[in-house]
Amino acid sequence: MESLLLPLLTAIIGGLVGGAVAHYFATRRDIAVKRREVIHSNLLEALDDLDRSNSNRPDAELKRIERVIYRIYVFGDEPLIQMTKKMVDQFVSTNEADTTEIMVALRNRIRSELKLEPLSEGFKYLTILPDLRNPTKASRE
């Protein structure tokens, strides 16, 4: 009986100590993750508020594009930031910009983060302009 008691007590004590240590480190990790989430959330909210206060644009669409640009500058990696700078330069010089390259890069990054299979095709999307909703106003040439 004594030969079984010592290994049993050792196993119980080892299990309790191991469980307490694991709980301690898991709790520290959870607190660190929550702290990072709160910090990022507050910093992003501050950045959004600052951006809103700096912009006098009444046009909501332009404001959304500005928000996309600064979020890419804050959260994007180097290649994405370079693509964004190229798009901004193109928009400044021609008042138009092709967003396809950035959209594909963002899609690929999101799919990678979510561990989804990569896609090799680009985007094909449809933009419906207000004049084209009413066939009588649409010009056909």
Cβ atoms of residues 132 and 125 within 8 Å:
no
Q: What is the per-residue pLDDT across 54-69, written as a single tens digit (0 to 9) for each?
A: 566 667 777 778 888 8
Residues 6+ apart with CB under 8 A from 84: 69, 72, 73, 76, 102
Residues 6+ apart with CB under 8 A from 96: 90
Does residue 28 have a pLDDT over 90?
Answer: yes
Mean pLDDT over each residue of the chain, to the nearest integer: 80
Does residue 113 have a pLDDT over 70?
Answer: yes
Residues 6+ apart with CB under 8 A from 104: 122, 123
**What pTM was estimated for this model as a whole?**
0.55
Q: How confident is the model at residue 139 (pLDDT cuts 50, 70, 90)?
A: very low
Does residue 132 have a pLDDT over 70?
Answer: no
CA 2 – CA 109 distance, rounded (Å): 61
